[in-house]
Structure formats: structure tokens, C-alpha cells
Amino acid sequence: MEQVISNLYVGGDKDVPEAKKRGYARLACTKDGIDSHRSMLGYTGRSAPKGPEYLYARRGDVMALNLIDVDDPEMIPWDMLEEGIKFVAEMLQAGKKILVHCNAGHSRGPTTAFMAMRAIGELPQPFNRARHIFKTLYEPFSPGHGMETKAREHWLELENKYARPN
């Protein structure tokens, strides 16, 4: 678990127990694993049950996205990612510490944190420059093709979308 800006931490499943112990809010960008969408909803089949929590579920200061790391960006719903980004912004604006994580801490969680930083005004740079800056803040950052494509496609619209009030 590494802090990338004040109160925003990025990591993997291995970091969740410590984040829980410290009382951090958590965004699980993963269908399976610790704090996952599957564990939050308790389903056992291949896919999540259809309904209002199909894409994401929230229980207080914990949110889980039904997110898989795939090469095809069309298989990654933007509405789901945007809810995760809004959740991160909400937690930070409330002064809470938050861990954004996925299983290994390389693609889904870090890319969502990267996009959230853009949305709150922390990464005003063009995409490639911002990607380089984020990589210096969180060295394990290695987005899969689908996640990187989604971030690139929505980069301009994310600028200051959920900026912190001055």
C-alpha cells in the first residue's frame, strides 16, 4: 500500500487487512478477491446477479466494482468506473483515507486511482505526461490494455470533474 497523494492509497489484496485495521475507506476494483464485488454480494456463480448492484455495490465506506481486467475496453462499463471515481472523490472530500485496490495492485485499482486524481484536479497534465507522473508515485502501475484505453478515452472529460472545493 502506497500513498500517492494525501489520504489516497493504492495497493492490492495484500494491503486490505491493514487498511481495514486503520479504518480506511476502500474501493475494491475487482470482481473476485478480498473486499470484492463477489464477496460483498455473496454470489457463487460466474456472473453477478442482475439488479441495481450488478456493476457496483456499496456498504458505507466500502465500495466494490464488478470489474475484470480485460483487453477489450468495451467490456469495461464506463458508468461503473465513474461511480468508483466519484466514491474516491467523496471519501477524500470528507477527509477520509482511502485504499483503492485490485488483486495484484497493478492495473484496475491503480488506473482507477489515476483517473480519480485527474477528476479531483491532481493530474492536470496531458494523458502521457500524467501517466508518467503517476508511475513515479506508484511504481507497480501497469495498466492492462482495456483499462488504459478507458482512461485515455475519458481523460479530457475527467479534468476537474469532481474537484475539491477551495
What cell was used for 107? 492495473
Residues contacting residue 157 through CB under 8 Å, at least 6 positions apart: none
> Domain for residue 58, yes or no?
yes
| pLDDT attached to residue 45 | 87
Query: What domain count does the chain have?
Result: 1
If pLDDT is split at 50, 70 and 90, which confidence band does 96 have? very high
Domain that holds residue 104: 2-158
pLDDT of residue 166: 60
Mean per-residue pLDDT, 68-91: 97
Q: How far is Cα 162 from Cα 132, in angstroms, rounded to an integer?
A: 22
In the structure, what pLDDT confidence band is assigned to residue 46 with cuts at 50, 70 and 90? confident
pTM assigned to the model: 0.97
- The residue written with cell numbers 485490485 in the block is 102
165 occurs within a structural domain: no
- d(Cα 97, Cα 6) in Å, to the nearest integer? 8
Indicate if the pLDDT at residue 72 is higher than 90. Answer: yes
